[in-house]
Amino acid sequence: MTRKQKKMLIRIIVSAVLMIGLNFIPIDGIARFILYLVPYLIVGYDILIKAAKGIANRQVFDENFLMSIATIGAMIIGLVDSGDYVEAIAVMLFYQTGELFQSYAVGKSRKNISALMDIRPDYANIELDGKLIQTDPDDIEIGTVIVVNPGEKVPIDGVVIEGNSSLDTAALTGESLPRDVKIGDEIISGCVNMTGVLKIRTTKEFGESTVSKVLDLVENASSRKSRSENFITKFAKIYTPAVCFSALALSVIPPLVNILILSNPAGWGTWVYRALSFLVASCPCALVVSIPLSFFAGIGGASKEGILIKGSNYLEALSQTDCVVFDKTGTLTCGVFEVTAIHHNQMPNEKILEYAALAESASSHPISKSLQRAYGKELDTNRVSDIQEISGNGVTALVDGTQVAVGNDKLMSKLGIKCADCHKTGTVIHIAIGGEYAGHIVISDIVKPTAQKAISLLKKSGVKNTVMLTGDRTAVANQVAQTLGINTVYSELLPADKVARVEQLLAEKSSKSKLAFVGDGINDAPVLSRADIGIAMGGIGSDAAIEAADVVLMDDDPVKIAKAIKISRKCISIVYQNIVFAIGVKVLALILVALGMANMWLAVFADVGVAVIAVLNAIRAMFVKRL
Amino acid sequence: MKKTYKVEVDCANCAAKMEDAIKKIDGIGDATLNFMTQKLIVEFEDGVEINAVMQAAYKACKKVESDCVIYM
């Protein structure tokens, strides 16, 4: 609790004790009024002062004003009529207790959510004369060597120059598997060093480092307001004056009708009391507090999962997504060529790969690289001799004294070797050993292991249309789309064609639903910004992606798209629950109060009770782990 | 010119009202008061005396909510 909250708590307790005590003192008249005034003022003086200031500053119609009018009114009714002051004090007590609880809950949840996002490193260690000195990361220049001990956060992006370790990237990516780093590896700020001491040469300033960018983005996210938030702001502006005038009418019209038309006693006391209760019940704070809090909690929860959402408006748009457009390379596929199949071979796969890798060992062509990587073991280049590269066709070489040819069908026909066609799409590499056809290896950009699950989860969560755009050849594109279960494919597109396609899709869809584009942020920035929601598979560290997109998936995992949509749906449904619940209870309470079927107690519940419940409900938006 | 200030404000409604009040001050292009992070982001117009403008902004906020604080 803050000091302010503690002080409030003491005031509430003192006033409550006094009020109960006064019950046992039998006095009447003015003395009784003065005695009861003491607990009233103890618990409510700040409200009265604020209300007076509000009137002086022409800021009437706020909560303080409503509470002051209502309780002063109740005190006056007590003085002239019933002698019952307990109600005014109790209402004020109830109100202050509710406010206290609400401010405590809001403050607490604000801290919890902020803690979710707190990846800010406080210091960086630099070594000076053999001693480590803690320095403000802001003061570290590019190229400085910093030391990160186990358990510490990496403060600035850089390259490892000494040491091995595992990094916990969970705070940035939501990915719980640790990542191993060694000398020469790039390392991003915000990760936690787990096992060994690392020396890092910084490559960026603190302000430009990943951790600063991410923090900046998340902290400013809730300043982009959603439509529901704007609705509430507008709603409150019209609502409060409307309620005040209704209350005035309630206090004046029925008594006048009583006197002038029905010739009954006016009953001023009753109607003024009802009007005052009406005012208390009407406070819009449940809505005003809980809705931004829901969005904040949703965005905080998502960032814990490695999903950065740049604003409440995007969270809202995500929940309405029913068409997701993917870029292929780097989004659904890894963007790296790998061996996907080996066919028609007599000898074991490893043997074929070994021959191919050895023959290609001198080449730096991406295909050769991928063969070498697939082989995975150290290549003994002494076994290879007489390497001849036939440009555009392949390689021939002597491996262990045997003639090996590795290349495309042109190479094979040149050598007069009959080769088998392949039913698989991708780049086919034929291998002949000792003049005999030995089989072929298929190399293709492999689909991310989670891509298929990602698509099926999206479909399950109600996304009707999944589209893939790619610059790749039609055969490859169709095959990928088929394995993943994507509805529509547009292939052999230039970057400009992608924008045109997305625009066409935007025009075709209904105005209520939203279109999300998922890309790797590298050459599709225009498309990212053109779509309703641009989701970047920026991956850790890609600045272009963080800049261009509205939502960034920190660990490049397409499964997170469905997760983000689920988080947004949960958050939005909580927002609607709160709107319906708060307005519903309010309207009900207002009607009951106007009809005289409820007293001021219920009115206070309709105000603070509802607000507290709405705040507690809003906090649920933070829990998104198991969605 | 954009600056961020730490603020202390108790209720979300007051924060919204304070934001409105700050936006109306001469010399301020745009302002966002984030109740959740308790941060005020002010975009100043070019060539204004920032201190004077912020004093005016603080005064305007005080009128809305007397116990708010802006750390300048």
Chain B interface includes A222 (CB < 8 A) = yes
Is A57–B16 a contact, with Cβ atoms under 8 angstroms apart? no
Q: Give residues with Cβ within 8 angstroms of A360, minimum separation 6.
A: A367, A368, A371, A372, A395, A406
At the fourth CATH level, the homologous superfamily of domain A335-446 is Calcium-transporting ATPase, cytoplasmic domain N (3.40.1110.10)
**Distance from the B11 Cα atom to the nearest Cα atom in chain A, whole angstroms:** 7
- Nearest CB partner across the interface for A223, out of B10, B13, B41: B41
Best of B6, B19, B36, B68 to disrupt the A interface (most A CBs within 10 Å) is B36
How far is it, in rounded angstroms, from Cα A590 to Cα A580? 15
How far is it, in rounded angstroms, from Cα A330 to Cα A480? 13
Is residue A238 pLDDT above 70, yes or no? yes
DSSP-assigned letter for residue A283: -
Residue A434 neighbours by CB distance under 10 Å? 11
Residue A310 neighbours by CB distance under 10 Å? 20
- Nearest CB partner across the interface for B36, out of A59, A63, A110: A110
Q: Are A520 and A331 in contact (CB under 8 A)?
A: yes
DSSP-assigned letter for residue A376: -
What burial letters (b/e) apply to A74-101, b meaning 16+ CB within 10 Å?
bbebbbeeeeebbbbbbbbbbbbbbbbb
Q: Give residues with Cβ within 8 angstroms of A114, minimum separation 6.
A: A300, B37
- Rounded to 10 deg, the angle between the A63-77 and A86-116 helix axes is 160
CA B21 → CA A29, B30, B55, B65, distances in Å? 46, 11, 13, 11
Is A219–B34 a contact, with Cβ atoms under 8 angstroms apart? yes
On chain B, the residues whose CB falls within 8 A of the CB of A110 are 36-38
Q: Which of A376, A475, A371 is nearest to A431 (CA)?
A: A371
CA A260 → CA A256, A257, A272, distances in Å? 6, 5, 18
Q: Are A125 and A133 in contact (CB under 8 A)?
A: yes
Could you give the residue ranges of the DSSP H alpha helices within A23-167?
29-56, 63-77, 86-116
- Nearest CB partner across the interface for B36, out of A59, A103, A293: A293
How far is it, in rounded angstroms, from Cα B59 to Cα A269? 40
Joined tokens for residue A59? 């800021």
Global confidence as pTM:
0.76
pLDDT in tens, A525-558: 788 888 899 998 866 556 666 777 889 888 888 8
DSSP-assigned letter for residue A154: P
How far is it, in rounded angstroms, from Cα A287 to Cα A513? 26
Chain B interface includes A233 (CB < 8 A) = yes
Q: Quick check: helix, strand or coil at residue A390?
A: strand
Chain A interface includes B18 (CB < 8 A) = no
pLDDT in tens, B17-33: 888 889 888 888 888 88
A56: buried, middle or exposed (CB in 10 Å: 19+, 13-18, 0-12)? exposed
Residue keyed to tokens 């709603």: A235
Give the HSE-up count for residue A69: Cα atoms under 13 Å, Cβ half-sphere. Answer: 23
How far is it, in rounded angstroms, from Cα A160 to Cα A165? 10
Show me where the domains of chain A are located: 141-204, 335-446
Best of A5, A49, A220, A578 to disrupt the B interface (most B CBs within 10 Å) is A220
Question: A321-327 and A514-519 as β-strands: parallel, antiparallel, unpaired?
Answer: parallel
CATH 2.70.150.10 corresponds to the domain A141-204: yes
Question: Looking at chain A, which residue has its C-alpha nearest residue B66?
Answer: A50
**Distance from the B20 Cα atom to the nearest Cα atom in chain A, whole angstroms:** 11
How far is it, in rounded angstroms, from Cα A309 to Cα A218? 7
On chain A, the residues whose CB falls within 8 A of the CB of B61 are none
CA B18, distance to chain mean position in Å, is 7
**Distance from the B71 Cα atom to the nearest Cα atom in chain A, whole angstroms:** 17
Question: Looking at chain A, which residue has its C-alpha nearest residue B19?
Answer: A223
pLDDT tens digit at each of 72 positions of chain B:
778 888 888 776 778 788 888 988 888 888 888 777 788 888 888 888 888 888 988 988 888 777 788 887
Is A110–B16 a contact, with Cβ atoms under 8 angstroms apart? no
**Distance from the A223 Cα atom to the nearest Cα atom in chain B, whole angstroms:** 6
pLDDT in tens, A302-352: 888 888 888 888 999 999 999 999 988 778 887 677 788 888 887 888 888
Average pLDDT, chain A: 83
Residue keyed to tokens 């560290």: A541
Share of chain A above pLDDT 90, in %: 13
For A374, the enclosing helix (H) or strand (E) is helix A366-375
Give rounded-to-5 percent helix, strand, coil for chain A. 55, 20, 25
pLDDT in tens, A210-223: 877 777 777 666 66
Is A103–B11 a contact, with Cβ atoms under 8 angstroms apart? yes
- Nearest CB partner across the interface for A289, out of B12, B38, B39: B12
Within the 42-71 window of chain B, which residues sit less than 8 Å (CB to CB) from chain A? 63-64, 66
Question: A333-343 and A186-187 as β-strands: parallel, antiparallel, unpaired?
Answer: unpaired
For B14, the enclosing helix (H) or strand (E) is helix B12-23
Under the banding of pLDDT at 50, 70 and 90, the label for residue A289 is: confident
The pLDDT of residue A566: 94
**Distance from the A296 Cα atom to the nearest Cα atom in chain B, whole angstroms:** 7
Correct CATH for B2-71 of 3.40.50.300, 3.40.50.970, 3.30.70.100, 3.10.20.30: 3.30.70.100
- The catalytic residue positions of A are 327
Best of B9, B13, B43 to disrupt the A interface (most A CBs within 10 Å) is B13
The pLDDT of residue A323: 92
Residue keyed to tokens 């029913």: A322
On chain B, the residues whose CB falls within 8 A of the CB of A223 are 32, 34, 41
Which strand ranges, in their side-by-side order, compose the sheet holding A192-193? A179-181, A165-168, A192-193
Residue A341 neighbours by CB distance under 10 Å? 15
Q: Are B39 and B71 in contact (CB under 8 A)?
A: no
How far is it, in rounded angstroms, from Cα A297 to Cα A299? 6
Is residue A565 pLDDT above 90, yes or no? yes
**Distance from the A224 Cα atom to the nearest Cα atom in chain B, whole angstroms:** 9
Is A103–B35 a contact, with Cβ atoms under 8 angstroms apart? no
Q: Give residues with Cβ within 8 angstroms of A29, minimum separation 6.
A: none
How far is it, in rounded angstroms, from Cα A406 to Cα A426? 16
Under the banding of pLDDT at 50, 70 and 90, the label for residue A515 is: very high
pLDDT in tens, A79-132: 887 777 888 888 888 888 888 887 787 777 777 777 766 677 788 888 888 788
Residue of higher predicted confidence among A598 and A514: A514
Angle B59-B62-B66 from CA coordinates, rounded to 5°: 155
Q: Are B45 and B28 in contact (CB under 8 A)?
A: yes
pLDDT in tens, A427-466: 788 898 888 888 888 887 778 888 999 999 999 988 989 9
On chain A, the residues whose CB falls within 8 A of the CB of B37 are 110, 114, 219, 222
The pLDDT of residue A59: 67
Give the HSE-up count for residue B32: Cα atoms under 13 Å, Cβ half-sphere. Answer: 14
- Nearest CB partner across the interface for A288, out of B13, B38, B39: B13
Under the banding of pLDDT at 50, 70 and 90, the label for residue A576 is: very high
Q: At residue B9, what is the residue type?
A: V
Angle A446-A447-A452 from CA coordinates, rounded to 5°: 160
Is B64–A59 a contact, with Cβ atoms under 8 angstroms apart? yes
Q: Are A509 and A496 in contact (CB under 8 A)?
A: no
How far is it, in rounded angstroms, from Cα A195 to Cα A151? 8
The pLDDT of residue A470: 84
Is B12–A110 a contact, with Cβ atoms under 8 angstroms apart? no
How far is it, in rounded angstroms, from Cα A91 to Cα A599? 10
Q: What is the arithmetic mean of pLDDT over A191-207?
A: 88
DSSP-assigned letter for residue A470: -
CA A14 → CA A4, A38, A438, distances in Å? 16, 10, 93
Q: What is the arithmetic mean of pLDDT over A42-60?
A: 83
Same fold, A141-204 and A335-446: no
